[in-house]
């Protein structure tokens, strides 16, 4: 690719195009049409042509405000539409109306010295936010992360509440029994697969056995050697059993259990607030890129393994297992 070409502008007037172009990240163009439709054009440095699609809509009032602000800029005629490769990262405002087509192009490094163009850019960024949709729009990174964090936090809360209610029920109907340890399994007290097997006499007569793994602490697992006696709580309905000391510890500490999901929720809110400026765009081939306001922040095409190749590999892996 020797140059970057902006998207072909529609013929309806007036028309406004704001473009951010760089050698490393390519071009991101935002086109505002008279009917309020907003289109986003994206050309990666490795693409032969620009691809643009509908981004959303702005109100007629907002569109008129953008056109008036663009006409107040020091626009010039005969500004080339191409962005030659190798030039510094730059921005361009291009207006087409009844008087013709005019534009202003400026290196990004010089934006601070042009307060008028900087103010116009803030209007463009605001219009893009309006067009992109709300917080939970399909292209919102913050919305996606909020849903993900909400699922994780809800699952953890459900798990804690379920266990808490189960222990509360056991306090009322559970059998308190002395049991003998007949099996002691696990590498150490922190082995996730550790358990003890116990046998006991049932209150109504007869004998029973149970495998205890849930809530089993490292301390109580280590003390439960084969042949020792442990105090257990047994659910007469399901036949499940737990070490009494571990359940009492859970009852004492359960008020702190919600600190973890609460902390995750707080981190999620802070992260989503930071990510609220980021939106997801899609290339013609389905790969995605990330925008921050009016510029490209990241692109799947810059990754060593594209998202499409990764998803195809995952699909083939599960199909051939």
**How many CB atoms lie under 10 A from the CB of residue 132?**
19
> All domains of the chain, ordered by start, with CATH?
3-140+280-319 (no CATH), 152-256 (2.40.50)
DSSP codes joined into one string, 33-101 = -TTSEEEEEEE-TT-SS-EEEEEEE--HHHHHHHHHHHHTS--EES--S-EETTSPPEEEEEEEETTEE
Query: pLDDT band at 5, cuts 50/70/90?
Result: low
Q: What is the pLDDT of residues 244-286, one digit of tens each?
A: 888 888 777 777 777 888 888 898 888 888 888 899 998 888 8
Please list the residues that pair with 265 across neighbouring strands: none
Helix 115-132 vs helix 60-71: crossing angle, to nearest 10: 160
Q: According to the model, what pLDDT value does residue 8 have?
A: 55
Q: What is the mean pLDDT of residues 22-49?
A: 90
Name the pLDDT band for 29 (thresholds 50, 70, 90): very high
pLDDT score at 1 = 42
The model's pLDDT over 173-227, given as tens digits with 9 standing for 90+, comes to 888 999 999 998 888 888 888 999 999 998 888 889 999 988 888 888 888 899 9
pLDDT of 73 higher than 70 = yes
Provide CB contacts within 8 A for 76, sequence distance 6+. 102, 103, 104
According to the model, what pLDDT value does residue 52 have?
A: 85
Q: How many CB atoms within 10 Å of residue 197?
A: 18
Q: Tokens 């209610």, residue?
A: 165
- More confident of the two residues 205 and 31: 31
Question: With a threshold of 0.75, does the pTM exceed it?
Answer: no
The string of pLDDT tens digits covering residues 143-182 is 888 888 899 999 988 988 888 888 888 888 888 999 999 9
């Amino acid at each position: 690719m020797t140059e970057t070409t902006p998207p072909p502008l529609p013929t309806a007037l007036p028309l406004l195009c704001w473009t951010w172009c760089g050698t490393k990240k390519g071009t991101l163009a935002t086109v505002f049409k008279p009917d309020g439709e907003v289109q986003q054009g994206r050309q990666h440095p490795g693409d032969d042509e620009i691809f643009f699609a509908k981004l959303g809509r702005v109100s007629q009032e907002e569109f008129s405000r953008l056109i008036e602000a663009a006409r107040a800029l020091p626009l010039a005629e005969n500004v080339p539409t191409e962005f030659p490769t190798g030039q510094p990262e730059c921005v361009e405002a291009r207006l087409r109306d009844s008087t013709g087509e005019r534009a202003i192009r400026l290196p990004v490094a010089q934006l601070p010295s042009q307060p008028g163009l900087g103010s116009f850019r803030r209007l463009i960024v605001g219009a893009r936010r309006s067009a992109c949709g709300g917080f939970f729009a399909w292209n919102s990174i913050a919305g996606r992360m909020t849903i993900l964090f909400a699922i994780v936090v809800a699952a953890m809360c459900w798990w804690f509440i379920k266990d808490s209610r189960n222990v509360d029920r056991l306090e009322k109907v559970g059998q308190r029994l002395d049991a003998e340890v007949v099996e002691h399994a696990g590498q150490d007290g922190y082995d996730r697969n550790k358990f003890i097997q116990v046998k006991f006499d049932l209150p109504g007569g007869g004998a029973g056995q149970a495998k205890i793994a849930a809530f089993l602490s490292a301390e109580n697992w280590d003390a439960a050697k084969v042949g020792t006696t442990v105090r257990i709580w047994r659910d007469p309905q399901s036949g499940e059993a737990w070490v009494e000391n571990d359940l009492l510890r859970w009852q004492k500490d359960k008020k702190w259990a919600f600190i973890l999901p609460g902390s995750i929720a707080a981190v999620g809110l802070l992260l989503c607030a930071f990510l609220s400026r980021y939106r997801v765009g899609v290339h013609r081939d389905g790969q995605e890129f990330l925008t921050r306001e009016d510029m490209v922040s990241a692109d799947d095409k810059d990754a060593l393994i594209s998202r499409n190749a990764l998803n195809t590999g995952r699909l083939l892996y599960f199909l051939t297992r």
